[in-house]
Structure 1
Amino acid sequence: MSFKSNKYSIESTDYQIGQDNVTKLGMDVHNTVFTASVGLSLLFIITLLALSPADAKAAIDSVKGAVLSNFDFLFMWGANIMLLLAVVIAFSPLGKIRLGGDKAKADYSLVSWIAMLFAAGMGIGLIFWGVAEPTAFYTNWFGTPLNVDPFTPEGREVSLGATVFHWGFHAWAIYGMTALCLAYFVYNKGLPLSMRSVFYPLLGDKVWGKTGDVIDVLTVLVTLFGLATSLGLGGTQAASGISHVFGLENNLFLQQFIIMLIMGLAIVSVLRGMNGGIKFLSNLNMVIAFVFIIFIAVLNFTTVLDSVATALTGYVKNIIPLSQSSGREDTTWLHGWTVFYWAWWVAYAPFFGMFVARISKGRTIRQFLLCVLIIPTAVTSAWMSIFGGIAIQQVIDKVGQLGIDQGIADVSLSLFYMLEAYPLGNILSLIAIALIIVFFVTTLDSGSIVIDGMTAGGKLEVPDRQKVVWVFISGAIAMVMLWIGGTQSIQALQSITIIAALPFTIILLLACFSLIKGLLTETDRNKQIDNVKEAA
């Protein structure tokens, strides 16, 4: 298969964006994608201002519920297929292909690369759900996985295993395959870092027209709304923690102040560049998180050992039944948790994929996929099993607020309730708040870089002021949502993102098919080279 385009040099990374980019106020933007993305974002905010938050949330939630219930098979099998493809490609001869060509060198050390992909991917989610999710499963807060009995040893094993399942191989396969699709077409075929590029083997030069514009605008909006949702939820959790530790009132002013703080730090990080910003913060966060989890583990050594073993046992024993969409009796739990998670990972995948693609040049496909699958899964499994296991043990032993409530009464405070059971609870809570804020700074920074690149036609280098614009827009959406209707509005925005994940699941599956077509051109070229050598 030959890659040829009227607009791009497909076999070279030295491409020109073409005639669609314009310069506005010192910014280099793709006119259609940038204008449509900004316009639709503003339209969305204006529409929300005119609606009742409760009515809007109810209407959006009804659509989300229909999507999760009627298309559960698509989300479940989409994740299964991407995991199987990732494993097959990694261990096939295609895994030897190097992103950027045979002589390409990695821009970042392995440690820094892993720290950045982890911080951008799920770091903040672990802080928010590390205690809440396994405790919710164990105490039947919103159903139990596989209909196990709550408050039982079997329930503990399945609850910890199901949590690892949600944050493990399937999730990182969705992320990894998306990132690989983008990285391959950017570094090996010379296409722009844009979602439209992935579909060149299927659509040809149509990707440079309106069809590609639609794909990129949809990607920008899903990424933007996902960022704003995470920022809003993170702001409320950090505010809850600060309120809990210092006795301040957890009001809108405090939440808005935290979001503005995160925005300000993200702008500083953006202006410092990739090495001085995201790389530095990601490495710092990994050090803080490592010290944090080691300290917690030492305080609960026996419980931690048992929890890790129990979580891994529960994961391995139940990965097959948890991966199925039919014949399940726990449909309420399935739709409310697993299908929701798979949709959320799909919605976040373009953002994660584009950012990781930017930092992954020089890795072989095998190294890329195995690192993305195994290392983050190991870290998330350890984090969830340690914090979740300790929280469940507090419920069992009736220790602290979790023991008094026999579960979680407030998701945003669940981590802080667990920590306050220790003599150094306030200090640990402050470390947790710092982790939340820095994780969000790295997420907002990397998100602005991704959105900026998409709205600049896929360019890897763009003016810093464009990145700052998207930091402001992401933060503004989160602040307006909180101002309009508090967490109800943020949850409504989250539901919109989940709805958008339905077409994106199909898009990602097609992208995987397109990737395979592209990778096979490498084997064809290698065969031709070998034939020439033999003839010579």
Structure 2
Amino acid sequence: MTTSDIPPEQPTDAMEFSTDYEMGQDNIRPLGLDIHNPVFLISSIVIFAFVLLALANQEASAEFFGWLRPWLTSTFDWFLVLSVDAITLFCLALIVLPVGSVRIGGKDAKPDYTYAGWIAMMFAAGIGIGLLFFGVLEPVYYNFSEGGAARPLGIDATLPGNEYVGVVGTIHHWGLEGWAIYAAVGLSLAIFCYNLGLPLTLRSAFYPLLGERVWGWWGHAIDTLAVFATLFGLTTSLGLGAQQVAAGLYEVAGIVPSNTVYVLLIVGITGIALCSVLLGMDKGVKRLSEINMIMAVCLFIFVVLVTGIGTAITRYFSVMVDYVVMLPALSNPFGREDTSYFHGWTTFYWAWWIAWSPFVGMFIARISRGRTVREFVICALLAPTAVCALWMSTFGGAAIDMLNAGGAEGVKATVIDSYAPEGALFGFLKELPFYGIVAPISLILIVIFFVTSSDSGSLVIDTITAGGKMDAPVIQRIFWCTLEGLVAIALLLGGGLAALQGAAVSTGIPFTIVVLIMCYCLWLALKSERAKLND
């Protein structure tokens, strides 16, 4: 930072930041733990209390969360949408402004991972189970919802030229604006950690505003809120993943889904995630992410080949043009008549993406040293948007074509006739050749997506609660990975999907303010780093 950007009481040397932090942090080490007190204690106690209350009062929890999510998304819709708009414009500006040449870690820093490994880990952590769960469900639901209630902007999908409006509405939720949230948080953490020598934790990004107070209760509050947002955002995906794995098991092995099955699945997959966590970043998370991406690409290529390459390409470019044209209207929170789409989906998604942002942001910051700001934003924002759009247009668009042609009875049964979203993907795959082979492979892919979300999330929460340390004791990783599974079980039993979504929204909305302030602090840091390059 320049002296004009930093309050007088703050040191201007990055090494002083780290030294002051190490002297000021209050760590306790019972049983070999390295606990950043009080973040670890407050967050773990509150989360344990939540799990116990949710399990002891399942009916009351279901009723409360059933009310909470729609109230939050309808009350704070304008705030969420305008905030995400601002974050997106900020990230796009970084690509073209001179600060884009700043390199994470300094001008001589070298990347820790190859492009392939870096992008695979970033994408696997950032998208989680979403592509597989929502890739067929969402486009079909928007197009064929009863009375067209959920159609984006109220556009009639039955009119010529509007056949893929549901795909466009889905790309809006999985495209530019969602990834901009991750990019903003990830870049903030990376710059403050690798360029300014601060710990890799959320509080570090607030040093330009709070000075030494980030090591006190202001910083504790920021990190604790980040833990809540990360945990509840992550467990929403874990719960969705458990439901979809159960649906896949029914298709593959005839096992009927039930709460018992959901619990056993979460326990089993949490156990696999623990193994990955114990292996560490390179041997566990990185390898699983690469396997994940290879399998996902193979499944995508299979669907493209059997549904028509030419059709897939034409559809993709058509929906991308429509997406760009419709984006300003989709990003406007005022005067909306498509309330089912806007409140039921868009505002929930923005809160969910923001709830995930501490987890994904810290994870991609951790693996992005050596990249320039411009390179980081393009790879964390534009590339994932293009890939997500390609996936949604291929799977969702093909399902829409089948339904319009009078087929896809499996999709019709799970999305239109009765809302059973976890079965939409398998209903779609039934329409394709080699279902007996593709279904088990898809089930394995879902499990690996599930595991990569859980293990990378555990590493991130562990880093936050250990005060930014990236080599905290293994027992802490085990603790957080186990607790994630317990929270997912508690939410599923205490309200199902509504509880999962309500918990994510309730933490995502207050964390939106944190992300907006982080963007301002990031701008101050980047100006300072750019000035160093010119010296």
Please classify the TM superposition score into its range, dividing by the shorter chain length.
over 0.9
Aligned to 1:159: 166
| SS of match in other structure, 1:156 | coil
- Separation in 1 of the partners of 2:356 and 2:246? 24
Which residue, out of 453, 463, 466, partners 1:453?
463
Contact 1:37–1:221 (CA<8 Å) still a contact in 2? yes
| SS of match in other structure, 2:511 | helix
Q: Percent identity over the alignment?
A: 40
Aligned to 1:274: 281
- Separation in 2 of the partners of 1:435 and 1:313? 30
Contact 2:411–2:424 (CA<8 Å) still a contact in 1? no
Q: CA RMSD in A?
A: 2.0
| 1:343 is aligned to 2:351 | yes
One-letter amino acid matched to 1:180: L
Q: Report the CA distance shift for 1:308/1:402 in structure 2 as closer, same or farther (over 3 A).
A: farther
1:29-178 aligned at under 5 Å gives the runs: 29-53=35-59, 55-140=60-145, 142-178=149-185
Contact 1:164–1:315 (CA<8 Å) still a contact in 2? yes
Q: Report the CA distance shift for 1:249/1:517 in structure 2 as closer, same or farther (over 3 A).
A: same
- Separation in 1 of the partners of 2:386 and 2:166? 17
Contact 1:395–1:406 (CA<8 Å) still a contact in 2? no
Q: Report the CA distance shift for 1:13/1:366 in structure 2 as closer, same or farther (over 3 A).
A: farther
Q: Report the CA distance shift for 1:138/1:385 in structure 2 as closer, same or farther (over 3 A).
A: same
Aligned to 2:434: 424
Contact 1:160–1:385 (CA<8 Å) still a contact in 2? yes
Deviation at 1:60, TM superposition (A): 3.2
| SS of match in other structure, 1:101 | coil
Aligned to 1:222: 229
Deviation at 1:229, TM superposition (A): 2.0
Q: Report the CA distance shift for 1:375/1:12 in structure 2 as closer, same or farther (over 3 A).
A: farther
Contact 2:410–2:430 (CA<8 Å) still a contact in 1? no
- Separation in 1 of the partners of 2:154 and 2:348? 18
| SS of match in other structure, 2:145 | coil
Deviation at 1:162, TM superposition (A): 1.5
Aligned to 1:10: 14
| SS of match in other structure, 2:470 | coil
Aligned to 1:292: 299
Q: Report the CA distance shift for 1:403/1:292 in structure 2 as closer, same or farther (over 3 A).
A: closer
Aligned to 1:534: none
1:23-45 CA deviation, whole Å, 9 max, x = no partner? 12111110201111110011111
Contact 2:399–2:408 (CA<8 Å) still a contact in 1? no
- Separation in 2 of the partners of 1:270 and 1:496? 25
Equivalent residues, number: 524
TM-score, length basis structure 2: 0.93
| 1:368 is aligned to 2:376 | yes
Deviation at 1:51, TM superposition (A): 2.1
Deviation at 1:96, TM superposition (A): 0.7
| 1:393 is aligned to 2:397 | no
Deviation at 1:526, TM superposition (A): 4.2
TM-score, length basis structure 1: 0.93
1:454-493 CA deviation, whole Å, 9 max, x = no partner? 00011122122211111111012222333x34xx245313
Contact 1:138–1:155 (CA<8 Å) still a contact in 2? no
Contact 2:292–2:449 (CA<8 Å) still a contact in 1? yes
* More deviation, 145-154/399-408: 399-408
One-letter amino acid matched to 1:241: G
Q: Which runs of 5+ in 1 are unaligned?
A: 530-536
Which residue, out of 327, 343, 347, partners 1:319?
327
| SS of match in other structure, 2:34 | strand
* More deviation, 274-283/7-16: 7-16
One-letter amino acid matched to 2:498: Q
Contact 2:246–2:262 (CA<8 Å) still a contact in 1? yes
- Separation in 1 of the partners of 2:423 and 2:227? 32
Contact 1:229–1:478 (CA<8 Å) still a contact in 2? yes
Aligned to 1:532: none
Deviation at 1:393, TM superposition (A): 1.2
Deviation at 1:246, TM superposition (A): 1.8
1:378-420 CA deviation, whole Å, 9 max, x = no partner? 1101100000011111211121324654954310000000101
1:217-255 CA deviation, whole Å, 9 max, x = no partner? 111011112222211221111011111222122123322
Which residue, out of 184, 197, 206, partners 1:190?
197
| SS of match in other structure, 1:17 | helix
Aligned to 1:352: 360
One-letter amino acid matched to 1:380: C
Q: Report the CA distance shift for 1:287/1:375 in structure 2 as closer, same or farther (over 3 A).
A: same
One-letter amino acid matched to 1:323: S
| SS of match in other structure, 1:57 | helix
One-letter amino acid matched to 2:136: V
One-letter amino acid matched to 2:381: L
Contact 1:307–1:389 (CA<8 Å) still a contact in 2? yes
1:160-212 CA deviation, whole Å, 9 max, x = no partner? 11111111111111110110111111111111111111111111111110111
Q: Report the CA distance shift for 1:70/1:477 in structure 2 as closer, same or farther (over 3 A).
A: closer
* More deviation, 133-142/504-513: 133-142
Contact 1:161–1:310 (CA<8 Å) still a contact in 2? no
- Separation in 1 of the partners of 2:411 and 2:123? 32
| SS of match in other structure, 1:249 | coil
- Separation in 2 of the partners of 1:344 and 1:454? 19
One-letter amino acid matched to 2:515: L
Deviation at 1:12, TM superposition (A): 6.9
Deviation at 1:5, TM superposition (A): 7.5
One-letter amino acid matched to 2:30: K
| SS of match in other structure, 2:458 | helix
1:512-532 CA deviation, whole Å, 9 max, x = no partner? 0111112222234445x3xxx
* More deviation, 266-275/403-412: 403-412
* More deviation, 296-305/7-16: 7-16
Which residue, out of 20, 25, 44, partners 2:26?
20
- Separation in 2 of the partners of 1:512 and 1:475? 32
1:345-389 CA deviation, whole Å, 9 max, x = no partner? 111111110111100111110100011112111110110000001
Deviation at 1:7, TM superposition (A): 9.7
Aligned to 1:384: 392
- Separation in 2 of the partners of 1:42 and 1:193? 25
| 1:310 is aligned to 2:318 | yes
- Separation in 1 of the partners of 2:281 and 2:378? 24
- Separation in 1 of the partners of 2:38 and 2:139? 44
| SS of match in other structure, 1:25 | helix
